[in-house]
Copies of this chain bind each other. A is one copy, B any other.
């Protein structure tokens, strides 16, 4: 815990006086749950927590903070994994939690569009889309906790990017409160609009550093009436990628997920959950969990069966779910692997991407290098390989001391990132930079990119009050 400085106390008192009753929390006990992210790895005590009920509350708050020179960090579901929404240590930031702005404002199945507030939990929005016989296709493990403002601010990825794109591709409009408290209203549901600069693109993926997203309009899609889920066993990552090449062509853009899981991941899942058995008749080095979806006029079951049956020698074994329950059980393997991989402790997460044609080389080279340098560590490899996105995580041996873990994580990350660099890849495919990936980002970014990013930051937030120190390093202004 850190001390609150006298000038911070004065500013906080002024903020209390300005804000409506019930918006601002600053009692120590109230701040705890806004201080730590979902992983528990990232921690920082806020000066206070604002819980606005409306865009006007956010606007007033920012006007005050702008006047008082108070730093602010917007916060969604705290599931972002790069420490972007956790208050900075040693403090001084006011957290703006959007959790009370959680309504679906409107939903229109003819426009295939919905408007939601930033604090709306993704799963709630998805459920409402389904009630209108549509889908909101942003899909990932954290969907029961993450909030759509955060999804948009981080341009979240997930399982269905392959078919439906990143969150960016699904955003039709935004409502944003700027650093000085003014409200920018770009909350449209038009599917085509080429009037001048597309300002919303700047806020999407800027991790709260350029404005506070308060509402979002999103594309929906027709709700599929058929979903086919299959798990197949293969000899190698090369074969998995060859299967992907066939799948893209044979499944006519109906493929909605293509997840790679190495054998180790399947073992973690099976050991972690009593209901899960080894899914195929014998173990295989590599698995692919794939899904296709369609409306009623396609024989989707035949399509998936025929495609797999005709995939030559690539598919060694496989199972197609005979029911939704079986399909969900296949997905449970994927979820349990993620949940159980760290054995409840800390581990290194990476989130990298390479061109699709380099996936197999990247996996082989990285694992080989890690095995030589850190034979004691467990490497867990999986990913959304249809997008070239791999999560290669490194779990320390049981009983390793915290200091040694830090060393292992740094060294292992350097090894993985070196391979990424050789393949022209990205050290952050879908999670963003936040604070956790900043060192690695800055090291690799070319100076012109950083200069242009700095100019944008200065243009939108000249006092650097919003999420300072995320993406770009802290800088005196």
Contact = CB atoms under 8 A, between A and B. Distances in A.
A252 interface: yes
Q: Which 3 A-B pairs have CB atoms at the shortest separation, nearest pair first?
A: A201-B201, A455-B459, A252-B294
- Count of chain copies: 2
Contacts of A184: 448-449, 452
Given A186-B449, A196-B441, 17 more contacts: A155-B198, A169-B169, A188-B426, A190-B353, A190-B429, A193-B429, A194-B431, A195-B426, A195-B441, A196-B449, A197-B205, A221-B253, A222-B248, A252-B295, A297-B303, A298-B298, A298-B303
Contacts of A208: none
A190 B353 CA distance: 7
Interface of A: 108, 110-113, 133, 154-155, 157, 161, 163, 165-166, 168-169, 178, 182, 184-186, 188-199, 201-202, 204-206, 221-222, 224, 241, 245, 248-254, 294-299, 302-303, 306-307, 353-357, 384, 387-389, 424-433, 441, 445-446, 448-449, 452-453, 455-456, 458-460, 471-472
A431 B196 CA distance: 10
Given A252-B298, A303-B297, A424-B188, A357 B195 contact: no
Contact of A426 (B190, B204, B429, B459): B190
A357 B306 contact: no
B253 A353 contact: no
Contacts of A448: 178, 182, 184
Contact of A251 (B297, B353, B445, B459): B297
A432 B294 CA distance: 34
Majority SS of interface residues in chain A? Answer: loop
Given A184-B452, A303-B297, A452-B460, A206 B197 contact: yes
Contacts of A353: 190-193
A331 to B, nearest CB: 21
Interface centre among A155, A193, A302 (most CB of B within 10 A): A193
A387 B191 contact: yes
B455 A460 contact: yes
A222 B353 CA distance: 21
A190 B387 CA distance: 8
A192 B471 contact: no
Contacts of A356: 110-112, 191
Contacts of A446: 185
B192 A161 contact: yes
A372 B186 CA distance: 34
A388 B161 CA distance: 24
A448 B179 CA distance: 13
Interface centre among A197, A245, A445 (most CB of B within 10 A): A197
A427 B192 CA distance: 10
A241 B112 CA distance: 13
A207 to B, nearest CB: 9
A313 B294 CA distance: 25
Contacts of A472: 196
Nearest to A191: B387
A358 to B, nearest CB: 9
Contacts of A166: 192
A197 B205 CA distance: 7
Given A253-B253, A306-B297, A196 B357 contact: no
A387 B245 CA distance: 30
Contact of A195 (B108, B303, B445): B445
A169 B163 CA distance: 12
Contacts of A389: 191-192
Given A184-B449, A195-B441, A460-B452, A355 B190 contact: yes
B192 A387 contact: yes
A192 B111 contact: no
Contacts of A425: 190
Contacts of A224: 252
B452 A108 contact: no
Nearest to A109: B245
A453 to B, nearest CB: 5
Given A202-B202, A458-B459, A245 B195 contact: no
A101 B354 CA distance: 27
Given A357-B108, A388-B191, A196 B433 contact: yes
A316 B30 CA distance: 65
A387 B193 CA distance: 10
